[in-house]
Amino acid sequence: MLRPGMQKPSEQFPLIASNLKDSVRAYERSVITDALRVNENDKRKVAKLLGISLSSLYRKLRELSIEGFEDQPMDETEAEEVHVTGNLN
């Protein structure tokens, strides 16, 4: 997942949050943004890589306020798959 020379999320983001919940959110945000960057914003590929459904990835993008992604609508194929199956796993 990481390109040569890239830091692991744990190396680039020391856990300095005041509680576990904030630390977990910060780490999730770091992992997701790194995965999107490395995979050229291919959300379907990132969801599969992270072992979550595409709809869960979109939910995380909204919850974690990851700018540039949280309000992007799914394309028609993605929306249809989520509607029919409930997820994309």
What's the Cα-to-Cα distance from 65 to each of 4, 35, 70, 81, 89, rounded to whole Å? 27, 16, 6, 24, 23
- What structural domains and CATH numbers belong to the chain? 17-85 (1.10.10)
Question: Alpha-carbon distance 23 to 71, whole Å?
Answer: 24
Structure confidence by residue, pLDDT tens digits, 16-61: 667 899 989 999 999 999 999 999 999 999 999 999 999 999 999 9
Pair 70, 61: CB distance under 8 Å: yes
pTM of the model: 0.61
pLDDT of residue 32: 97
